[in-house]
Structure 1
Amino acid sequence: MLRRSTGPKELEPSSLEKGTKKNNIDKLKDSKGTWHEDSQMICNVAWSYFNGLFKCSLDPNDECD
């Protein structure tokens, strides 16, 4: 049997504590296979990856099939 909700539920302290953990990237491998542990280099590797991922490789004058 389904019951209709009576409104927002109060959050228990234990459920709030679970959300405080942060995920960290300790090291990241670049496109050449080199591992980087410095936070600035990790940012650069991630930026380079996503920058290359979303670049268009088509010539604007080419026709799409």
Structure 2
Amino acid sequence: MYATSLVCRAATPETRAHVPYNIVLVDADEGFRMMAHGDNDLAIGDKVAARFTQFAGRLVPYFAKAK
């Protein structure tokens, strides 16, 4: 986990049901940096695992703490 930002105000009416939600920057082992959604309790330095989930009617990448 490179950076995290908790969003507390809905940008659109569709995102209102998800507030608060976390936007994260992740440095992947493959060498690229990716912006996505993530668990609200993520912290800089956490190891994470990726999956896809529904957000405001769309399928989006999502990160959670690695087990």
- TM-score under structure 1 length normalisation: 0.25
Query: By percentage of residues, which structure has more helix?
Result: 1
The structure having more radius of gyration, on CA atoms, is: 1
Report 1 or 2 for greater relative contact order, CA contacts < 8 Å, sequence distance ≥ 6: 2
Query: By percentage of residues, which structure has more strand?
Result: 2
- TM-score under structure 2 length normalisation: 0.25
